Structure 1
């Protein structure tokens, strides 16, 4: 059943009765030119990565898994297979090819889904994504060798006020044990989960309605900052002044973009020791360990102790 978009008073929770819970962060897509080099750099940062996965539409990836979400390093590896975008159809691969024409970094945010086809209908009704759902599969390499077939469905959402970046929900249509592997979830720096995505935008308030519809939750808005989602699954949008306060040295841009992610770690002192031993450039900002975007292919990394969020 499709739910028609209606005008709601500020502060009203924008949840759908068919999907009453706020959405969880599923994964972040970090788009890179050279997947092999990016993997080496991220392993030096302390991430354990899955073997290379190959998509049937011209992209390949390697993942840093946690218990229930993950980071995805992704590159366009066969341009001949990239499908063109068409009315009503979002081309995942073409989006990333275009993104790489500008820069490396986080290009898309994925949210957890149990029914991406229903999400696509809701997005269309709310006018945040008039795209057909996208179903595909690929082979995943298992820790002991061999492969397993994994299948996904995606529902895309975009906002004209956020050009160049995009959002989607991701439904996994295979037994969980085929994808989630403890061997891939143990990281040298001790990270246990992605807990926040940080965006920059000249006017955070301008993106409130879109993000509330997307996240199925009510945003908190204060001057220069918008947040939506609970502390363990949050999207934060910062204006120029708030961005420079939280992430010194990151220049704001005219268009909204993804600029950082926050990761919970079991022991922040141990994380600091591992990164220092690996020669990683970082700084401590109070209780936050910050790796600048130059060291992680365009996305700043904030590490915080688990008990602080």
Structure 2
């Protein structure tokens, strides 16, 4: 089984323009708005090999419904927004979609039909280049409220931009993805298959899986509140929530200064400087 690092997280919001302005106030460089042919729109925050996809619904009339074994990215995120804003999908990097599919099927997971697409991307200097992606969607039966897939970037040289990866707040990369759930042990089989990492560390605070890019923390709400100094997202019995992103920064004091100047709320917590989810479009950002 191939070990996979985090590729990106989809952060779904009702007001895409307002969320993009929020991230810019927090000191991030945000890419121009891009449009998908299936009705969604996005902005990206590029880090070191990982990115945040800030997603909104652009034209609901263009969203196709899922049919048979197809997965509808647009319909899934439209339906997610009926319940809440926040991180809707976790995405792992892929070098070989066929190998991903084989690994998931061997683990007994439901894998959807392959999906590929391309579009044009605008670079900071205005140049237009082609980008393309191969996606392998997989279902977590223990957490149907969230989406999961691997993503192979066919033209990384056209996608990544050193300018877009340079942020005024000094953030450089992903440290962790934090998922709150009632029973972390019940999730370990799925996440071992998704990440390709069989080894994990279990403590009284939950389960940690190290990946080639970032670590995954699975923890109960009580552990989240203790470590991150803010209330955990509300979850139904047996449910989960993608609660926080841990982000590496060159200087945490610099981040604090940016947030204070922008009048954005944050708290100091054992795991870092935390912008709570409740005030910030449903996802906590943790600067470490």
Displacement after TM superposition at 1:219 (Å): 2.1
Alpha-carbon distance in structure 1 between the residues aligned to 2:111 and 2:287: 36
Q: Please give the residue correspondences for 1:153-172 in structure 2 after superposition, counting only pairs within 5 Å.
A: 153-172=134-153
CA 231–120 in structure 1, closer or farther in 2 if over 3 Å, else same: closer
Displacement after TM superposition at 1:83 (Å): 1.5
Pair 1:76 & 2:68 matched:
no
- Match among 211, 214, 217 for residue 191 of structure 2: 211
Alpha carbons 1:110, 1:169 under 8 Å: kept: yes
Alpha-carbon distance in structure 2 between the residues aligned to 1:303 and 1:77: 30
Aligned to 1:274: 258
Alpha-carbon distance in structure 2 between the residues aligned to 1:189 and 1:96: 29
CA 118–239 in structure 1, closer or farther in 2 if over 3 Å, else same: same
Secondary structure (helix, strand or coil) at the match of 2:217 reads strand
Pair 1:184 & 2:168 matched:
no
More displaced 10-residue stretch of structure 1: 53-62 or 80-89? 80-89
Displacement after TM superposition at 1:282 (Å): 0.4
Aligned to 2:79: 98
Stretches of structure 2 lacking an aligned partner (at least 5 in a row): none
Alpha-carbon distance in structure 2 between the residues aligned to 1:230 and 1:140: 28
Secondary structure (helix, strand or coil) at the match of 1:168 reads strand
Alpha carbons 2:222, 2:232 under 8 Å: kept: no
Aligned to 1:253: 235
Displacement after TM superposition at 1:75 (Å): 0.8
Aligned residues: 284
Alpha carbons 1:204, 1:224 under 8 Å: kept: no
Displacement after TM superposition at 1:121 (Å): 3.2
Displacement after TM superposition at 1:122 (Å): 2.5
Pair 1:40 & 2:37 matched:
no
- Match among 287, 291, 297 for residue 281 of structure 2: 297
Alignment RMSD (CA, Å):
1.5
Displacement after TM superposition at 1:155 (Å): 0.6
Q: Please give the residue correspondences for 1:91-240 in structure 2 after superposition, counting only pairs within 5 Å.
A: 91-174=72-155, 176-217=156-197, 218-230=199-211, 233-240=214-221
Alpha-carbon distance in structure 2 between the residues aligned to 1:201 and 1:67: 28
Stretches of structure 1 lacking an aligned partner (at least 5 in a row): 1-15, 305-309
Pair 1:50 & 2:31 matched:
yes
- Encode CA deviations 1:65-117: one digit per residue, 9 max, x unaligned: 01211111011111122111122211111110010111110000111111223
Query: What is the TM-score when the length of structure 1 is the normalising length?
Result: 0.88
Alpha carbons 1:55, 1:137 under 8 Å: kept: no
Displacement after TM superposition at 1:237 (Å): 0.8
Displacement after TM superposition at 1:251 (Å): 4.4
Alpha carbons 1:289, 1:302 under 8 Å: kept: yes
Alpha carbons 2:245, 2:286 under 8 Å: kept: yes
Alpha-carbon distance in structure 2 between the residues aligned to 1:231 and 1:177: 20
Alpha carbons 1:200, 1:243 under 8 Å: kept: yes
Displacement after TM superposition at 1:40 (Å): 0.8
Alpha-carbon distance in structure 1 between the residues aligned to 2:282 and 2:263: 18
Secondary structure (helix, strand or coil) at the match of 2:20 reads helix
- Match among 89, 94, 98 for residue 70 of structure 2: 89
